[in-house]
Chains A and B, each alone.
Chain A
Amino acid sequence: MRKFLVSLLILTLLQGVANAVQIDFHVSVLGDGKLHPGDDTAITLLIENEGKADNFMLNENTSQLLQLVTTAKDLRVEIDDSWLPIEVKTVNPQLIGDLPSGRIAKAVFRVKVDEDAKLGEYSIPVRLKYTKVTYTMSGTNVILNYHEDEFDVDYLKIEIVKKDYDFSVKSVSSTLKTNQEGVVEVTIKNTGNNEIYDATLLINTTPPLQPNPKAMSAYLGNIGVDEEVKATFKVYVMEGALNNSYPATLVLKFKTSVGKPYKLTQSIGLGVEDEDAFLIIDAQSFITSPKTIPKQQQASIPSIPSLPMFMSQQQQSQQQQIKQIQSVITIPSRGFVLLSIKNVGKDVNDAVAILSFGNPLIQAENMPYIGYFRKNDVKDVLFYIKSTAPPGKYRGVVMLKYKNELGDDEMSKKHYIEVEIKSITPLKIEKVETENLAVGLKGNVNVILKNSLNKNVHNAMFLIISPDSSLTPLSSSSYLYEAKPEESGEIRFRLQVSDEAVSGSYKLYLVERYNLGDAEGLVSIAEFPVIIKPKMAYFEVLSIESNLYPDETGDVTIKIKNAGNLAIHNAVVKLELSSPLTIAGGSALSSLVGQSQPGLYFIGTLKPDEVAIAKFRVDVDKDAGAGNYPVTIKIDYYDDEGYLHTSNPIIASVEVKEKPLITLPIAIAILLALIAIILATRFVRKKRKQGNKDKQV
């Protein structure tokens, strides 16, 4: 028991030596310690260690312990913001480290003062945690003891006061939509201590927001303390904006009571809606490809005369060279795009549809006016498209421009449509026939067109263009009133082929201008080849004479003129007949084969402008009535180079007359026979007279 009591005494003594050291802190704020509601600012705390060691026996053994035991080791500072209108934004607590006695440490805290913080003084508790060192003497030895989690609380004095000049944003309302200009309405409040004068509020944005220069600032005048004012701005939302909130800055410019200019800023967020008010329900297009036509022109180009003073006029004129100049012209096509647009947004006024293309070779000629466009209405808009683009698919951009309820112009969101340029034409060229189209001649080109669409094509006008100067259209235009689907029509042109033209294939262009449905004046260009024949014979039937009677074989005499420019050789005229006429002698084969055989008549060589006569014997059926019957005349011939040709058929008619009692040949024959009989009678009389004379003698 005695041992126990001794030990207890010793410990008590030791304890008594140790308790003599005391660490204390003093905390203060750097500056005036004033904060403003809504401030987001940093405050700097100054922390002083006021540690003391009473009754500390200082000797050679303890002299070095004095600093150790008065130092607050591992000091950590924490602001207790609970129940206070401030919020510490930085790390809390902050580590200061070892703070020896008499030293001052700094700790910086970023705090946010509540907007609605009550003005006044606040004692903010600052907790200080540290480790304290103690010692005990054991003989000459010193034993150190570390006491963690020692803490101290000090109170910091701050005051929340208003700023001299400040404002806050009370509300932001906006109706911003992509590709549209929207209104932003802002309500601000003068939260400063003083009234502000000549205030102007501006809004600054970054893309995709773009303030309207005419409505990006609002003059607010004088704003008293705690007074709220409203400002309205217009902001355009560029293409590509998302359903998102985009930052904007409000800048409040004003003057102080002493007239000093002042500027305050506040950031706000502006929400954007990416919705469109219009839908394209249906899109139809019909655009054909343009044509690039090589154009040949003749130009007289004078060459540079070397010594003109020594040259005669003739020589000078010879130096004028006629040159063929090749140029290229592009005939644009004209088509249409028909859109059905539905308004799914609000009613709008003065709506105009706009169609544009990324490719500059395609252009919309018009911007159809829709006018008042009621919600849920569907409108058809027709665009006329002029195109010089090659066949293919292209992207078109459709937008609607309209006035909103405020009377401001707004643009709808972009809508993309596919537009195809086709290489076909609505009136497809089915067949091209040429007549007498040969070198040096005037001939016809008959084009048979077929409506390949399922719509009526009407009021079609055609223009034929020849890129080659050797072919000159004499009758270059034609007209077709209407062509129903799958219906064919024929148009004719007349061309002159120059003497210098080379026979062969030439390309002609047919410009078609037509109405298709409601679309008027559409233009398509087709091309087709024509064969220019070499110099050829062209025949004209000058006359047909016939003496045909029912149930008789008669003559048909055809007078044919070579009206072409080519001498023909070994020409054979073919006469094709139909019932009740048959070629005499040809009925043999016809009756065997069951097909009418043509009559042939050899006329040999026939030079240009020469006339030949072909004769045929024709059988007329006994049941044939008097009248004109059609015949077809063709001429087979060889040209100078020995090539065989067949002329185009020439339709003519021959007349079958009522059989007379006595025809001219029979009448002449009877007359001649009478002469013979008269002569015979005279011979007999003469002989009788001679006999009588002889008797008398």
Chain B
Amino acid sequence: MKDRNPWISVIPVIIGVFMVMIDVSILNVALPRIAEEFNATASDVQWILNAYTITLVVLLVLAGKIGDMVSRNYYYSAGMAVFTIGSYLCAKSWSILPFIAFRAFQAIGGAIMLGNSLAIMVELFPPGKRGTAMGVNAILISSAFSLGPIIGGWLTTHLSWHWVFYINIPVGIIGVVCGVVLLPPLGKKIKEPIDFVGLALLTIGLGFLTLALIKGQDWGWDSQKTIASFIIAFPYLFAFIVREFTYHHPLLDVNLFKIRNFSIGILGIFFMFTGVTAALFILPFFLQGIKGLTAEESGYWLIAIPIMNSFVAPVAGRLSDMINPKYTMCIGPLFFILGLLMLGDVDINVGFWEMFLILSFLGIGLGLVVSPSFNVIMSAIPPQKAGMANGVVQTINSLGRTMGVAIGGVILTGKMNDLVPGYGNQLPDPGKIMMLKTLSIRGFSEPLVLMVNAFMESLHHLFVQLVILPICSLFVISLFLSGREHLMRMKVRERVVKKLK
């Protein structure tokens, strides 16, 4: 195991993470075609997405915990196989209900992979080299969000929506083979029973929390369903925490949160992920709705974030092994704040390269924070609890992404309602803009002008408001993160490794 080049061994992990993350966003473009083929209702279509996201979020902790109890290399490969089979079944679905079920099944595989990817990297890379690996992981996560619409749009346009899933099959098979062949044996660390009561409490709590965050915009934040979901979610999460404190073999070792760098790292990237997700959620509405780009084109316009992230994240990760990660993790939010402020003043006639420059700041900021954070988080916890920690990180990241969407929608529509009384809580999608353009052509241009002006003002307002998130991230990192502790821990681990060698 130790003789293998970890960069070769990590290939199946990269493949897996990329597949899982890209599947979150790749399907958005193909949904209209899927709905058309299955004669699916709007509600059914929403559940195609929700089934994946909720299953993923709910199972991440459990998947990480199980990863700590079994041979993680086979477990990961099995997860990839489940994901691949799920993709195949989705492509071969005969009606909407099986399709939703297969999406949930696919998410089980996704949870196994995503919940163990960081843990595998921790095991593969020795201390001092994990930063680069974490950077790669950060690249995968952020780029998948931007590349999803581009790839999905191309496949749906030139082939069919089925290829959104078929494309996973060869990649998945290669991934499984690579997983079996390239991944070294990653043995069992702990042997303890699974806390099914805790799992049930977590599932209910996270499930309703995610549901409320996802559907809040649609149902209305003051609707009974949303409120009821929150009323259920928080007591169950509270009960889960109590359970984890009081149970001998907790599903989630809450004592991990007592590790300062673990908690601060998670909190730091939570704010960053929330911010970048809010930005990436709203920007397509600007690009497609106001500027009239297609989904595929808007994906290209957002590509600056993964590109810059790809450049910066490995470097930042590597630097976090060498210097106090607090420096890069504090510079990152500053870049992010700069990017958000520039977006807060973006003009409707903004060009591609101008937008590329603005989004580069976000990509750089994200890269400077995320990969060092992963490194700090995973280095702070005991190796035998890497899987559990990985699950927690991904769960909180997923919640952060979900909250980012919710926050973006709430702030934007809130401002829209201030400017256009009675506007409601719907985002200005391209179809709506097209209708207004049609009205404008027929001589009734006032609604279009009102809409565009209100949206642009709301957009500026949103990005200025989002600045609070990187500021929070900067605040907690700069005040509470202990970079020295991380460096010391790294040095100790390096010595241990050298001694073991």
In the complex, whether B3 has a CB less than 8 A from a CB of chain A is no
Q: Is the CB of A588 within 8 A of B432?
A: yes
Measured CB to CB, the closest approach of chain A to B440, in angstroms, equals 11
Cβ–Cβ contact A553 & B432, under 8 A: no
With an 8 A cutoff between CB atoms, is A55 at the interface? no
Q: Whole-angstrom distance from the CB of A163 to the nearest CB of chain B?
A: 114
Question: Interface centre among B36, B224, B245, B247, by most A CB within 10 Å?
Answer: B224
What separation, in Å, do the CA atoms of A604 and B41 have in the docked complex?
7
Kindly supply a per-residue 1/0 record for chain B positions 237-261, scoring 1 wherever the CB is within 8 Å of any chain A CB and 0 otherwise: 0110011011100000000000000
Q: Are A666 and B231 in contact (CB under 8 A)?
A: yes
How far apart sit A684 and B241, CA to CA, in the bound complex (Å)?
A: 11
Contact of A680 among B238, B420, B435, B451 (CB under 8 A): B238
Q: Is the CB of B451 within 8 A of A592?
A: yes
A406 interfacial by beta-carbon distance below 8 Å: no
> Per a CB cutoff under 8 Å, which of A615, A677, A683 touches B247?
A683
Which residues from 103 to 125 on chain B have a C-beta closer than 8 Å to any C-beta of chain A?
A: none
A306 on the interface (CB 8 Å rule)? no
Assess the A592–B420 pair: CB atoms within 8 A. Answer: yes
A589 within 8 A of B: yes
The proximity string for A residues 538-569 relative to B, scoring 1 for CB distances below 8 Å and 0 otherwise, is 00000000000000111000000000000001
Within B332-379, the residues touching A (CB, 8 Å) are none
Q: Does B218 contact A (CB under 8 A)?
A: yes
Q: Does A663 contact B (CB under 8 A)?
A: yes
Q: Are A584 and B39 in contact (CB under 8 A)?
A: no
Chain B hits for A601, CB < 8 A: 41-42
**Chain B residue nearest in CB terms to A667:** B228
Asked if residues B436 and A592 are in contact (CB atoms below 8 Å), the reply is: yes
CB distance from B434 to the nearest CB of A (A): 11
A651-692 Cβ-contact flags toward B at 8 Å (1 or 0): 000000000000101101110111011011001101100000
Interface centre among B225, B420, B428 (most CB of A within 10 A): B225
Instruction: Flag if B220 contacts A584 (CB, 8 Å).
Output: yes
A552 to B45, CA, bound (A): 25
A591, B423: Cβ atoms closer than 8 Å: yes
Which chain A residue has the least Cβ–Cβ distance from B220? A553
Q: Decide if B422 touches A590 in the complex (CB within 8 Å).
A: yes
- Choose from A602, A614, A676 the contact partner of B40 (Cβ within 8 Å): A602
Give the chain A neighbours of B238 by CB distance below 8 A.
Answer: 676-677, 680
Chain A residues with Cβ below 8 Å from B234 are 673
Residues in A whose Cβ lies below 8 Å from that of B320: none
Residue A446 CB within 8 A of the other chain: no
A619 in the interface, Cβ–Cβ < 8 Å? yes
Which of these, A594, A665, A677, contacts B235 with CB under 8 Å? A677
B435 contacts which of A552, A589, A617 (Cβ < 8 Å)? Answer: A589
Chain B residue contacts of A676, Cβ below 8 A: 201, 204-205, 232, 235-236, 238-239
Partner of A585, one of B218, B228, B232, B235: B218
Give the size of the chain A interface in residues (CB under 8 angstroms): 44
Q: Is B170 close to A, CB under 8 A?
A: no
Whether A588 touches B220, Cβ cut-off 8 Å, given contacts A601-B42, A619-B424, A677-B235, is: no
- B423, A592: Cβ atoms under 8 Å? yes
Given A587-B424, A676-B238, A603-B247 contact (CB < 8 Å): no
**A556 to chain B: closest CB distance in Å?**
13
Chain A residues whose CB sits within 8 angstroms of the CB of B444 once the complex forms: 593
For residue B99, give the distance in angstroms from its CB to the closest CB of chain A.
13
Contact A586 B436 (CB under 8 A): no
Q: Which residue of B lies closest to A569 (CB)?
A: B39
Give the residues in chain A near B443, CB-CB below 8 Å: none
Name the B residues within 8 Å of A584 (CB-CB): 218-220, 424-426
Question: B11 on the interface (CB 8 Å rule)?
Answer: no
Which residues in B have their C-beta under 8 angstroms from that of A131?
A: none
A602 touches B42 (CB 8 A): yes
Of all chain A residues, the one with the shortest Cβ separation from B428 is: A588
- Cβ-based interface call for A178 (8 A): no
A589 CA / B420 CA spacing, docked (Å): 10
A588 CB contact (under 8 Å) in B43, B223, B232, B416 = B416
Q: In the docked arrangement, what's the CA distance between A673 and B224, Å?
A: 15
Asked if B447 contacts A592 (CB within 8 A), the reply is yes
How far is B40's CA from A601's CA once the two chains are assembled, in angstroms? 10
Assess whether B439 is interfacial by the CB under 8 Å rule. Answer: yes
Shortest distance between the CB of A353 and any CB in chain B (Å): 66
Shortest distance between the CB of A672 and any CB in chain B (Å): 5
Contacts of A669 in B (CB 8 A): 227-229, 231-232
| Residue in chain A with minimal CB distance to B35 | A602
Q: Given A589-B432, A592-B451, A666-B227, answer yes or no on A617-B239 (Cβ-Cβ < 8 Å).
A: no
Chain B contacts for A614, CB-based, 8 A: 41
Q: Could you tell me the distance in whole angstroms from the C-beta of B417 to the nearest C-beta in chain A?
A: 9
Q: Which residue of A lies closest to B242 (CB)?
A: A680
Q: How long is the Cα–Cα vector from A668 to B243 in the complex, in angstroms?
A: 23
Best-buried of B42, B45, B222 by chain A (most CB within 10 Å): B42
CA distance A569 to B239 in the complex (A): 48
Per-residue contact bits, chain B 412-424, to A (CB 8 Å; 1 contact, 0 not): 0000100011111
A617 adjacent to B424 (CB under 8 Å): no
Residue in B43, B201, B422, B424 whose CB lies within 8 Å of A679: B201
From 401 to 458 in chain B, residues with beta carbon under 8 angstroms from any chain A beta carbon are 416, 420-426, 428, 432, 435-436, 439, 444, 447, 450-451
Given the complex of chains A and B, what is the CA–CA distance between A679 and B235 in angstroms?
Answer: 10
Contact present for B235 and A591 (CB under 8 Å): no
B218 neighbours in A (Cβ, 8 Å)? 584-585, 617
Instruction: Name, among B41, B218, B225, the residue most crowded by chain A CB atoms within 10 Å (CB to CB).
Output: B41
Asked if B38 CB lies within 8 Å of chain A CBs, one says yes
Measured CB to CB, the closest approach of chain A to B123, in angstroms, equals 33
Q: What's the Cα separation between A604 and B38 when bound, in Å?
A: 8
CA distance A683 to B239 in the complex (A): 8
Partner among A570, A666, A673 whose Cβ is within 8 Å of the Cβ of B39? A570
Contact (Cβ within 8 A) B231 A673: yes
Contact flags (1/0) for B256-298 with A, using CB distance below 8 Å?
0000000000000000000000000000000000000000000
**Closest-CB distance, B207 to chain A (whole angstroms):** 12
Q: Which residues of A contact B435 (CB under 8 A)?
A: 589
Q: Return B249 CB to nearest CB of chain A, in Å.
A: 14
B432 touches A591 (CB 8 A): no
Interface residues of B in 21-39 (CB under 8 A from A): 35-36, 38-39
Within 8 Å CB of A680, what residues of B? 235, 238-239, 242-243
B239 touches A677 (CB 8 A): yes
A288 at interface by CB-CB < 8 Å: no
Which residues of A are found within 8 Å of B36, using beta-carbon distances?
A: 570
| Chain B residues whose C-beta falls within 8 Å of the C-beta of A582 in the assembled complex | 422, 424
Docked complex: A600-625 residues within 8 A CB-CB of B: 600-605, 614-615, 617, 619
Chain A contacts for B231, CB-based, 8 A: 666, 669-670, 672-673
Produce 1/0 per residue, A568-582, CB < 8 A to B.
Answer: 011000000000001
- Taking the closest CB of chain A, its distance from the CB of B370, in whole angstroms, is 33
Question: A552 — which chain B residues lie within 8 A by C-beta?
Answer: 220, 222-224
Q: In the complex, which residue of chain A has the Cβ closest to the Cβ of B435?
A: A589
Q: How far is the CA of A586 from the CA of B425 in the complex (A)?
A: 9
Q: Which of B385-408 contact A (CB under 8 A)?
A: none
Q: Residues of B with Cβ closer than 8 Å to A?
A: 35-36, 38-43, 45, 197, 201, 204-205, 218-220, 222-225, 227-229, 231-232, 234-236, 238-239, 242-243, 245-247, 416, 420-426, 428, 432, 435-436, 439, 444, 447, 450-451
Sample (29) of A-B pairs whose CB atoms are under 8 Å apart? A552-B220, A570-B36, A584-B220, A584-B424, A584-B425, A585-B425, A585-B426, A586-B424, A588-B424, A590-B422, A591-B421, A592-B450, A600-B42, A601-B41, A601-B42, A602-B45, A603-B39, A604-B38, A665-B228, A669-B228, A672-B232, A673-B231, A673-B235, A673-B236, A679-B201, A679-B239, A679-B243, A680-B235, A686-B246
Other A-B contacts than A672-B232, A677-B238, 17 sampled, CB-CB below 8 A, are A570-B39, A584-B425, A588-B416, A589-B426, A592-B450, A593-B436, A602-B35, A602-B40, A604-B39, A669-B229, A669-B231, A672-B235, A673-B232, A676-B204, A683-B242, A683-B245, A687-B246
Closest 5 A-B residue pairs measured CB to CB?
A604-B39, A587-B424, A585-B426, A669-B228, A676-B235
